[in-house]
Structure 1
Amino acid sequence: MARILVIDDEILGSCIAETLSFNLKDLQVVSVGNGIKGLQLAQELQPDAIICDLNMPEINGYEVLDRLRRDEMTANIPFIFLTGEASYTKRNCGLGLGANQYLTKPFAASQLLKAVESQLTT
């Protein structure tokens, strides 16, 4: 069973978890509301992919990704940014730090599902 970790401080985080759980079979989705908890769970769960917002309290998504990539236990976990930040600069920064994909809100459920499926089959 594949595991997805969703890190998002908004209510959207639980909507993402529900969408994934409903549409993708054999999937366990865990959702947390901030980057610190997300980093802890990434270590503990070793998820098959991580979906993360960019703007969060405590530490932002860039910092989450940077810390994950610096840790050999989490460095290779596929990482998808899902954020309202649509600027070319922010997108390039996220991809430059090692994100596998960068999706912007609003998004269609089909976009999210396709992005997650592509990371689970890589």
Structure 2
Amino acid sequence: MTLSIGVLYIDKSSGLEKRFSLPPGKHLFGFESYRERIWGADIMTHLGLIILPNLLHIGCFSITGDRLNQLEREGHIILDNIDLITEQTRYDSKENIKFHVDNLLDAIKLAKQSDGKMIIG
């Protein structure tokens, strides 16, 4: 199974919540095992992450408003500490982690631009 990212917004003409169609591969946020191995690893909370470590215990959650800013900070913390994270998690693919965090940051940008929300799970 795969963790996915989605971005939802309110369609102004209909008032209905809709989901953006992300480009191929931009919805990916890692394998299901990343919940424990990467996003929920002790190093993440040690670095001050608050939102992403919740993937260890919560199947799917949405992020809106100011929490998008917090999640964006978490993405940058991961990128700034990617060497330490790969060392501590014993996961040897910095490129893979970077790919997923880049997807996260792109989705956050889209959610902010559309006054929408993100779903991760």
Alignment TM-score, normalising by the size of structure 2: 0.29
Structure with the bigger RCO (C-alpha within 8 Å, sep 6+) is 2
Alignment TM-score, normalising by the size of structure 1: 0.29
